[in-house]
Amino acid sequence: MSLSERRLELSPFTDALLRRSTVLVCCGAGGVGKTTTAAALGLAGAMLGRRVLVLTIDPARRLAEAMAIPESGPAPSSVPASHLSAAKATGALDAWMLDPKVVFEGMVRRLAGDPEKVQRILANRLYRALSELVAGMQEYTAAEALYSFVESGHYDLVVLDTPPSRNALEFLEAPRKLSLFLDEKIVGVFLPGGGGGGLFAKRAKQLVASVFERAFGPGFFEDVQEFLTAFSGMFSSMRAHAEAVRTLLTSEASSFLVVTSPEPTALDEARFLQEKLREMHLPFGGYVLNRSWAYTRGFREPETLALPEDAPPKLRSAHAKLVALGRAERRLADRDRALLSELRARGGNATATPHLGGAIEDFGGIASLAEGLVVR
């Protein structure tokens, strides 16, 4: 390994982010190892002595098994101390698969305050139906959970693994969309006495009520009104909370990392997402080129292996094959170093994680990735 390559490997930009950030958001295309990279970033933060939480939406079962945590649960789970000790991590590391229903109910309990009001909301037919539509709630509840855990003060760093890049943009827009929806001028039309007392407003409300009843049955519009009435006292707090999420995500405390791989389609998605982040004025931290050959880590040229003069044909044949493999690896290394240079030329930082030969099956693999993300 050359001196310049060694310096590059020992100075990943992620080290500084892991030391100073409160929030790291991992974005990227599907299949690039984004969730595993998020776990490695979390462990790297714990290696620096920080208290870290990794929030993920859809972790692979093998990743949960590697971290010795349940695939799901009502609250974050701690990675065993024995795992952290083996990785020489002096901090703490928790992980949680986001449960939208748990997050949304927690928000209701916190903002409603009054236990009787909480029970009215939770018992409402419309709320129960909405709570079952968990897929549609993921984007908002991801932002809600992120902000709540940061505000709790229990963690120094929260790492969020988002859905694949195009869906991740919905997460980024969720707080703003919620804030727009919670405008009394819009929601007020559905509330008893809302929308003004004029004849037009009354007839409009009658029309809406009749449409709802024909589509969903008698009493549904009343359920909508009851649901929104119960929520109405919380709208101001929810709007303020949505704006606070946006403020957090645009602050210096946060950074967005785009995870990619050397595959052309993944690189295209990475470039698209970088532009979107800039358009939305969100802090772009840089790229992580995953499953890369950019750092050869002690690669020895097979040509330098001297064979004895009386080496048998089988040994010479094996050596020739090894030389061919070595040349192929050098080509991959040259390709990925060029990709790193290209990514940096786009105006961002870039570092790489090594190609470990397949899916990561144990905590040691996560630790191998984490070690390349920090300087200790």
Per-residue pLDDT tens for 128-163? 766 665 445 666 677 778 888 999 999 999 999 887
Crossing angle between the packed helical segments 34-47 and 13-20, to the nearest 10 degrees: 70
Question: Domain for residue 310, yes or no?
Answer: yes
Question: Domain for residue 357, yes or no?
Answer: yes
pLDDT confidence tier of residue 209, bands split at 50, 70 and 90:
low
Question: Domain for residue 353, yes or no?
Answer: yes
The closest alpha carbon to 35, from 152, 168, 143, 133, belongs to: 168
- Average pLDDT on 196-212 reads 55
**Tokens at residue 1, please?**
């390994």
For residue 8, count CB atoms less than 10 angstroms from its CB and return exposed for 0-12, middle for 13-18, buried for 19 or more: middle
In this structure, what CATH number is given to the domain that contains residue 320? 3.40.50.300
Question: Domain for residue 118, yes or no?
Answer: no
pLDDT tens-digit readout, 15-28: 999 999 999 999 98
Question: Domain for residue 193, yes or no?
Answer: no
Range of the domain at 93: 3-110+138-181+249-371
The closest alpha carbon to 366, from 77, 3, 87, belongs to: 87
pLDDT tens-digit readout, 338-355: 999 999 998 789 999 988
Question: Domain for residue 87, yes or no?
Answer: yes
Q: Which residue has the higher pLDDT, 2 or 325?
A: 325
Question: Domain for residue 142, yes or no?
Answer: yes
What percentage of the chain exceeds 70 in pLDDT? 72
Residue 257 has pLDDT above 80, yes or no: yes
What percentage of the chain exceeds 90 in pLDDT? 31
Cα 315 from chain centre: 49
Find the helix or strand (DSSP H, E) in which 206 lies: helix 199-216
The total number of structural domains that make up the chain:
1
The neighbouring-strand residues paired with 284 are 256
* pTM of the shown model: 0.79
pLDDT tens-digit readout, 46-93: 999 999 999 987 666 777 888 888 877 788 999 999 999 999 999 999
Question: Domain for residue 294, yes or no?
Answer: yes
Query: Could you tell me where the DSSP H helices lie in 21-72?
Result: 34-47, 61-66
Interatomic CA distance for residues 252 and 27, integer angstroms: 18
